[in-house]
Chains A and B, each alone.
Chain A
Amino acid sequence: MAGKKIMADKLILAVESSCDETAAAVVKNGREVLSNIISSQIDLHTLYGGVVPEIASRKHTEQINQVIEEALKTANVTLKDIDAIAVTYGPGLVGALLVGVSAAKAISFATKIPLVGVHHIEGHICANFIENKDLEPPFICLVASGGHSHLVKVLDYGKYEILGRTRDDAAGEAFDKVARAIGLGYPGGPKIDKVSYEGNPEAISFPRAKVEGSVYDFSFSGLKSAVLNYLNQCEMKGIPVVQADVAASFQKAVVDVLVDHSMTAIRESGMKKFAIAGGVASNSHLRKAFEETCAKEGISFYRPSPILCTDNAAMIGAAGYYEFIQGNVSGYDLNAVPNLRLGER
């Protein structure tokens, strides 16, 4: 049984189903994870070379109660102990989001526990609060994943200014596409990360794209095309392709751009704290590059452990906590918003 709650402690039950992970968690006071259950569908989608929205939505419907029940059980609490239910309502795959949103609303209605709709990217950013108990806004945060690439100024809890975003492919998307092109398969991020240790990052010179008119925006589609062109040319000229060299050189190009843009934002803002978040943030080469650069420039560098970089519900619980204590609650008409923008409610 759950111990008596100390006054003012707030327990958040969080639900996340925006892409291909069905997840639920119980988080205390936005910082302490009591449970973090993730049911991944990655094996299912690997068959198709990427996430199939209809299959993802079906799998969420199948798994949703199990993960929520498991999250409560692991945290050793019941719904009676929960102060608010946080749920991701965007951005993401609409059919996938709807499963978590519908279930969370039904639980909120049945129990009268307040409902808090949470922005998925806000969740990723807040994963840093779980990992780094001393981290407080303001800071600069780079969010890079399969669906997102955002450079964000975190002004305060729940207050964000988007400095830059990708104009085309997300960073993680570029990893997936290049991995497929060089025969590594899905998911591309971890596979390129691993094989790059055997390759030479300077072997091939791929472009570091600048976006005209914005020092903070990203563009990765040109880089992806450059890799594809290189592979074509090798084939035409009969030059053997060294998979590890292509992977390492491509990855170096992505890392350079992410580091360069982030450091510009840090310098311009005068902030001394920098955090990374999202699936790409678990890339070991990127983490190392940021560690070194931040150390050199005297910037405190924060990163969540890999389990909190991937899509999970604990981060939604962290973000939901800060929204909840600021009085941001949602109605039973909360809908899934597939292209929800950060900072909008």
Chain B
Amino acid sequence: METLEQIKARAEAAVPGAILGILLNSSPSAQHSLVVDNEHALAVAGFLRDDPQLRLDYLSNATGVDWLDREVKESNITRQVVDGVERDIEVTSVRVVPGYLEAVYHLYSMELRHGPVILRLRTGNRSDLVQIPSLTPLWRGAEFQEREIYDLYGIQFTGHPDLRRILMWDGFEDHPMRKDYVDPDDFEYEPTPHDEVLERAARHYPTTK
């Protein structure tokens, strides 16, 4: 199979306007992935599936990732005049990089026996801009997995034929796999608490010491 860079170049040529990025994986597996913008995601995915050299006809796995807001510290050294003396002043600023939700697709080719090509789609943020295009119209196998991502992470897949919760019940409001999910505290009875559970159980069991 061609390298990811070659795939990226050909996909950009085939889908005009598509913004693609390569996300490097520094682990020994070196499974780098292709980040696709939402507007052209369906067209790029269609290219990956139908291109005669790629023929990625099999979606083996779709999953979600929750990236929280993170703070980035930046320090700039500027030259300023303090008390008549010119000095280097270090100014530290904290910038908040907004978090987002991500759907990751692993694509293989049954016909040409190669893969995987990893595709990542990202939402605008974690609260209201959570729409990304569904790839179910291209790979039918994505249907239940996208429903699971919707259920557990709260990503809205536009164009999904039947986007309902699949594991939790319909009236459930949370998304349990999000990192800021707080699950109901039902640790009233905990015979062998340890670590995190010990803290939660301690609220129910007052100690005498």
- Verify that A and B bind, or say they do not: no
